[in-house]
Structure 1
Amino acid sequence: MISLSSHVLDTTSGKPASALPLTLTFPDGTTAEGKTDDDGRCKTWGDVSFTAGTYQLRFHCEAYLLAQHGDSFYPFVDITFVMTEDGGHYHVPLLISPFGFSSYRGS
């Protein structure tokens, strides 16, 4: 079984980025919407099943960065990644600031 979660951390403030919208694009082009909770985490994508393939997570960060820091170089951040049948749980964190970001495969 494949599962997916994400976590957005604001590296400028050192706090989770809450209420940040995300769009997940599936290999077939369909999408699901999510939003980070108070701890900056997104674990629910509605009633979906994950299969092997290439996915994209779009983090809609501009409004959050403008509200928190008054500036944003990034209107959004796209992370494209591959999930495999035997990959288990995928965790895609985003570390964000007004002028930089980083991501990795978490656990």
Structure 2
Amino acid sequence: MLGNSSREEHTAELMAAAASNPLTTHVLNTGDGIPAAKMAVSLHRLDSELMIWNMLSVGTTNEDGRCPGLISAEAFISGMYKLRFETGSYWEGLGQTSFYPYVEVVFTITDPQQRFHIPLLMSRFSYSTYRGS
């Protein structure tokens, strides 16, 4: 458990990261009640003329289940995006199987000046997501 000063430092770090990252995600393993650490995540943007997905970045969730730095504010423009979470590999790393080999969350950005948080709540046989704050 974090003490008051550690909690304040942690909150300050999260706020600083959010300020420089217009898009954040947080993956929670709800089956075990823990953050989903060490999960591969990739961010893609749709080329609306060619109708193909272009990979913008890849990352891995940290011990808190977060994957910071997926895109800079300068590169974040209006368009259709998807986050791809490699859930099957994550569960295999825990010695378990999963019904879903991956999860793709597709969303549209119309105002890139806003901040967007897209959590993924998952178990081996289910998942849900929403636009967080």
TM score, norm. by length of structure 2:
0.73
Residue 103 of structure 1: how far off its partner (Å): 0.2
How many residues align structurally?
Answer: 107
Q: Greater RCO between the two (CA within 8 Å, min separation 6)?
A: 1
Identity %: 38
- Bigger fraction of residues in strand: 1
Asked if residue 27 in structure 1 is aligned to residue 53 in structure 2, the reply is: no
8 Å Cα contact 1:18-1:40 kept in structure 2: yes
8 Å Cα contact 1:9-1:94 kept in structure 2: yes
Divergent runs of 4+, >3 A: none
Residue 46 of structure 1: how far off its partner (Å): 5.7
User: Of residues 1, 4, 10 in structure 1, which corresponds to 2:29?
Assistant: 10
Gaps of 5+ in 2: 1-19, 48-52
Indicate the residue corresponding to 2:67 in structure 1. 42
8 Å Cα contact 1:58-1:76 kept in structure 2: yes
Indicate the residue corresponding to 1:93 in structure 2. 119
8 Å Cα contact 1:69-1:98 kept in structure 2: no
Closer, same or farther: CA 91–46 of 1 in aligned 2, 3 Å = closer
Aligned 1:67-78 pairs, distance under 5 A: 67-68=93-94, 70-78=96-104
Amino acid at match of 2:67: C
Indicate the residue corresponding to 2:10 in structure 1. none
8 Å Cα contact 2:119-2:132 kept in structure 1: yes
- Bigger fraction of residues in helix: 2
Amino acid at match of 1:44: G
> 2:24, 2:42 → 1: CA distance?
12
Q: What do the CA deviations read for 1:64-99 (whole angstroms, capped 9, x no partner)? A: 112336121011000000112255111110001110
CA RMSD of aligned residues (A): 2.0
Q: What do the CA deviations read for 1:1-28 (whole angstroms, capped 9, x no partner)? A: 9810000000111000011001110133
Larger radius of gyration: 2
TM score, norm. by length of structure 1:
0.89
Indicate the residue corresponding to 2:7 in structure 1. none
